[in-house]
Amino acid sequence: MPRLFAGLEIPAEIGQSLSNLRGGLPGARWVDPENYHVTLRFIGDIDGMSANEIASMLFRVNRKPFEVKVQGLQSFGGKKPRAVVASVEPSRPLIELQAELERLMQRLGLDPEGRKFIPHVTLARLHDASSQDVADYLSVRGYFPSRTFWASRFVLFSSRASTGGGPYVVEDSYALSA
């Protein structure tokens, strides 16, 4: 059973910039740069027939390419930080694409996504990292010049069941070219 999600790939040059922020945080498990992405819709463990149906339905998405802006770092998890992420500006085209994917997945019978969409790139997953260590890391590394890229497609990724961070495989791609 593949574990699937739809997302945006991060260009290699931006991935390289983000990878330079790695290190200096106890309890961090850093994501490999080739696995950086923006998750648009987590789908989950799906049987082969459903995976084919999902892949086919995604071809119906008819959107224009748009600019994506990566800016600054933050942590998720509050007092028990669980991830360090690069923030992605929630532009209108990005929000609308995510909402359309959500509607399509619900139309196929999947449960609604349980969390609010906060666009980001996960850089590290945290295990027993103190909130003070995370705050110290963010105060040193949290600012970096904004980077932008043009999203001309989104992809359907698969991953093997693991503790996260990849490896991810592009199963199919969907052009943004309305």
Residue 151: the pLDDT is 98
pLDDT of residue 1: 58
Q: Pick from 123, 133, 128: which is nearest to 165 by CA?
A: 123
pLDDT of residue 3 exceeding 80, the answer is: yes
Q: Kindly tell me if the per-residue pLDDT of 2 is higher than 80.
A: no
pLDDT of residue 159: 86
The string of DSSP letters for 16-41 reads: HHHHTT----TTEEEPPGGG-EEEEE
Q: What is the CATH number of the domain that holds 49?
A: 3.90.1140.10
To the nearest whole percent, how much of the chain has pLDDT over 70?
96
Across the range 58-62, mean pLDDT stands at 95
Q: How confident is the model at residue 74 (pLDDT cuts 50, 70, 90)?
A: very high
| Percentage of residues in the chain having pLDDT higher than 90 | 84
**Residue 31 CB contacts under 8 Å (≥ 6 apart), including other chains:** 122, 123, 124, 125, 164, 165, 166
- Closest Cα to residue 28, out of 94, 85, 107, 72? 85
Domains held by the chain: number: 1
**Average pLDDT of the chain, as a whole number:** 93
For residue 23, what are the domain limits?
3-175
Per-residue pLDDT tens over the stretch 93-141: 999 999 999 999 999 999 999 889 999 999 999 998 999 999 999 999 8
**Residue 76 clears pLDDT 70, i.e. is over it:** yes
Active-site positions read 37, 120
- Cis bond upstream, residue 167 (ω within 30): yes
pLDDT at 166 over 70: no
